[in-house]
Amino acid sequence: MSLINHPNLLQAHCSFTAGHHLWVVMPYMAGGSCLHIIKSSYQDGFEEPIIATLLRESLKALVYLHAHGHIHRDAKAGNILLDSNGAVKLADFGVSACMFDTGDRQRSRNTFVGTPCWMAPEVMQQLHGYDFKADVWSFGITALELAHGHAPFSKYPPMKVKL
């Protein structure tokens, strides 16, 4: 996270441990997440110009990550943050992955991670692995979430979504 350098990605300033806890110091995002804004003021979703802006800025972040060999693996409204000036930043790299393990570019990943409603079918199936395209699926689900105020199938429990 500390090596990430893009205006649309939330950067970590530093990290440290205190006892058994890991603390990561990041900029304060006063606007909160798009999910928080939807839940508090836009239950039926945002208007199209707002969605277009949020998606454009988030896509810039994903393009940067992919160009540097990373998959985010958890793109969703809850991970799109706004600062006090309205700048859009993609956050939460807790499940991101690098496609450069052991120095060579991997063709695919096989780990089952992410949030089920946003998870691409190939991630859920775990048959042949997945690559950057899994983020494209999540990005599309995020577009629906921003437009409707919720992700498809979000009213169901995670196990039912996977089925």
- Beta strands of the chain (E only): which ranges? 14-18, 21-25, 32-33, 70-71, 80-82, 88-90, 97-98
- Beta strands of 35-86 (E only): which ranges? 70-71, 80-82
- Active site members: 74
**Beta bridge pairs of residue 15:** 24
C-alpha R_g of the chain: 16
**Beta bridge pairs of residue 97:** 71
The tokens for 16 are 């440290």
